[in-house]
Amino acid sequence: MTALMSPTLARVYIQQGHLDKAEAMLAALLARDPEDGRARVLYNRLRRRPRAVVEAEDGGHQTVWVRWREAPIDRHLHVVATTYARERPGHIYVSSCVCTTKQGEQALSTGPHLGSVAVALVEAITDQHGRLELAPLTVAKPLIPRQSRGRRRR
C-alpha cells in the first residue's frame, strides 16, 4: 500500500465500488494504527457487508428476468428494475418486487418504452424522519433488451 492511505481515500474507493481495495487499505491502516476509529468503523462495515449478487436477463415482451443469490434475508430488501425510455429522454419506468428469500428469480416489467435497464438489489431504510431511502447492496450489469427475443429457460 502507498503512503497516501487514509480512511478518506478508502471512502472514495467504496463510492467507486472498489470494495476489496478499500478493505485491504483499511486493514493495512489498522495494522499500522489499531486505534484509528474512522478506519475501524469503515473496516467493520465492509467486513459485514452482504455478498449478494443480482443478475438480469432480457425476458422479451417488456420484461426482464432477475435472479439473486446470497441476499441477506434479515433486511427489508427489494429488487428494483429501472428502464430508461429510449423514445422519451429523461423519462424512466421503475418496477420492483420484495425480496424475502436468500435466492430467487422474478420477472419484472420494463414498461412500454424499451431502453437500457438497470437492476439492483436494494435495502429499504426509513430514516429518523420517516423518509424512505433505498441503499443499493449490489447492481447487475446493465442490460439493453432486444424487443423480439423471448425468454429462454436453462
Name the residue with higher pLDDT: 96 or 20: 96
Under the banding of pLDDT at 50, 70 and 90, the label for residue 2 is: low
- Please state, in angstroms and rounded to a whole number, the distance separating the CA atoms of residues 67 and 73: 15
Indicate if the pLDDT at residue 151 is higher than 50: no
Q: Average pLDDT, stretch 77-83? A: 92
Render pLDDT for 46-74 as a digit per residue (tens, 0 to 9). Answer: 877 767 889 999 988 888 999 999 888 87
Q: Average pLDDT, stretch 19-40? A: 91
Question: Could you tell me what percent of the chain has a pLDDT over 70?
Answer: 90
The counts of H helices and E strands in the chain are 3, 7
Under the banding of pLDDT at 50, 70 and 90, the label for residue 78 is: very high
Given the candidates 1.20.1530, 1.10.10, 1.10.246, 2.60.40, the CATH classification of the domain at 53-139 is 2.60.40
Asked if 103 and 68 touch (Cβ cutoff 8 Å), the reply is yes
Task: Write down how long the chain is.
Answer: 154
Question: Could you tell me what percent of the chain has a pLDDT over 90?
Answer: 36
Q: Average pLDDT, stretch 15-27? A: 86
What residue spans define the domains of the chain? 7-48, 53-139
Indicate if the pLDDT at residue 140 is higher than 60: yes
Render pLDDT for 107-133 as a digit per residue (tens, 0 to 9). Answer: 999 887 678 899 999 988 887 788 888
How high is the pLDDT of residue 147? 56
Residue 108 CB-half CA count within 13 A = 28
In this structure, what are the phi and psi dihedrals at residue 18, rounded to the nearest 5 degrees? Answer: -90, 65
